[in-house]
Amino acid sequence: MAHFHGHWIEDILIVAIGLLALASLLTGVKWLTTLAGILFWVSLPTLLFGRGIKIENGIILEFGWPLRLFRIRIAPDDIVEIVDLERAEGIPPIRYYRQIIIFTALWLVVGFTGLIKRPEWAFMWFGWIYWGLASTVPLIFPGRTRKLGALALLLFGVLMSGVAYHLGVNVYQFYAIGGALLAFVYLTDVREKTIVLVTEKGTYFVCSYNYDELEEFLERIGKLVSGGADAQAT
């Protein structure tokens, strides 16, 4: 099923998690780290998978999983541009989501600060660094070259795991969970196809592992906007 990302609440969650962890490191208040961890794991399903998209006289976007927290209706006249990133060669996705650079910088600061302040948790801080990069690198590479970025991230994650082991992190459950996450991110970046939906209410990423679903989505959107909306399809 095609799903979307790009709701403003996602940005708030990412920043809140990063600021809570950074504040904990700088102040020594450990419950802030606990709160950041709880917020991360509770929001993870929504941040990773999103919700399905409905088309009912407009585009219906819903945020929150398993409970629906927000609902947005986009009228045909609100659609400004539709970009198929699989066919639009040379257009990097980050062009439509530049604020991710700020989020990445925050997560990298948390990771490196953690390595300095609490090196005994090196594996976790390497995780912050990895996730910060994993959020941005795939958006830098346009079209088919995205696979190169995904492969580079996978190798970087393996390298960081080796460094953590060298530093004495011998909790093998961490490596099992980390390996599963590395594989998931790699497969997601390689297999997931994306369409950018630029509207008057914001910019959203419509994603699916099945490109046929995205083609069907484009076809339905085309019929929706043919009634007079000024939408451009790329």
**Predicted local confidence at residue 232, as pLDDT:** 47
**Predicted local confidence at residue 198, as pLDDT:** 85
One-character DSSP codes across 173-220? HHHHHHHHHHHHHHHHHHH-EEEEEEETTEEEEEEES-HHHHHHHHHH
Residue 223: CB atoms within 10 A of its CB come to: 11
Single out the residue of 184, 190, 161, 185 nearest to residue 173, CA to CA.
161
Domain ranges, ordered by start, for the chain: 3-223
For CA atoms 57, 59, 61, 67, give the dihedral sign. positive
What does DSSP say about strands 79-84 and 232-233: parallel, antiparallel, or unpaired? parallel
Residues 6+ apart with CB under 8 A from 117: 25
**Predicted local confidence at residue 229, as pLDDT:** 45
Measured in residues, the chain has a length of 234
| pTM attached to this predicted model | 0.73
**Predicted local confidence at residue 224, as pLDDT:** 76
Single out the residue of 105, 96, 110 nearest to residue 140, CA to CA.
96
- H helices then E strands: how many in the chain? 7, 8
Q: Which amino acid is at 88?
A: A
Q: What is the residue-level pLDDT of the chain in tens, covering all 234 positions?
A: 556 666 677 788 889 999 999 999 999 898 998 998 888 888 777 766 666 677 877 888 777 766 677 788 888 888 888 887 777 666 777 788 888 889 889 999 999 999 888 887 777 788 788 878 877 777 776 665 666 666 776 777 777 777 766 666 666 666 666 666 666 666 665 566 777 888 887 888 887 777 777 788 788 877 777 764 444 444
